[in-house]
Amino acid sequence: MKIEDLKVGNTVFRQLGFKHFEEDFDVLVKKGQTPEVLFIGCSDSRVVPDLIVDSKPGDMFILRNVGNFVPPFKADNDFHGSAAAIEYAVSVLNVKHIIVCGHSYCGACQALYKDLGEEVGLIHVRKWLELGQKAKDYVIKTFGTTLSQEEIHRKTEKTSVVYQLENLLTYPEVANKVKDNTITIHGWYYKIEDGSIEQYNQKTQKFEPLE
Ligand SMILES: [Zn+2]
């Protein structure tokens, strides 16, 4: 799709899509947004949150970043975009659920196994990918000698989701709300090859089909 197509696309949207959701938008403008879900997904163009769960405008507050990573809570004076989105969803919007959704064929997880060199053009990517390091270390230690590289990538994508859930709990307000059951956190894994989603079961420590 080219940029010109996007411009035409907005015209089409205003004629069709916007009309379809016109009443919803009207309510959302007048009453504001009250999404129950914070969806944390990857920036990957193939993972389109509202499309894969058939949700509407106003349903989900969405945070997308490279690798669907959750940086640990760090109350310093720096610019923390992902943390700000989490904080806003939890403390202002009062979401009831937080979904961390990984996905198959994730470039961020694959990049964990590559040497990105020292170029200045990737300075932030290199740092950001440290958030996947624990998942990589675990997968190599546990499956490094038994699985193919592709299988290792799939395992890393899923394992990373579990570590990102742990990082979510470093946010004091998230931890408090999970403790008093006003927030539930979910680890999901979306398969771009067939559109299905699996969810992490804390008890069995396995990903199971979403029902
Ligand atoms: Zn990805």
Query: What whole-number distance in Å separates Cα of residue 105 and Cα of residue 109?
Result: 8
CA of 167 to the centre of ligand 1 (A): 18
Count Cβ atoms below 10 Å from residue 173 Cβ, excluding itself.
13
Does residue 103 carry a catalytic annotation? yes
CA of 124 to the centre of ligand 1 (A): 16
pLDDT at residue 144 tops 90: no
With beta carbons less than 8 A apart as the criterion, state whether 69 and 108 touch: yes
pLDDT in tens, 35-75: 999 999 999 999 999 999 999 999 999 999 999 999 999 99
**Percent of the chain's residues with pLDDT above 70:** 100
Domains of the chain in start order, with CATH, are 1-31 (no CATH), 33-209 (3.40.1050.10)
CA-wise closest residue to 139 among 154, 156, 151 = 156
CA of 126 to the centre of ligand 1 (A): 15
Q: Which pLDDT score is estimated for 53?
A: 98
Mean pLDDT of 110-120: 92
Query: What whole-number distance in Å separates Cα of residue 38 and Cα of residue 92?
Result: 12
Q: Which pLDDT score is estimated for 56?
A: 95
SS3 (DSSP) at 200: strand
CA of 30 to the centre of ligand 1 (A): 35
Does residue 153 carry a catalytic annotation? no
Does residue 137 carry a catalytic annotation? no
Ion ligand 1: residue ranges with CB closer than 5 A: 42, 44, 106, 108
**Mean pLDDT over all residues of the chain?**
97
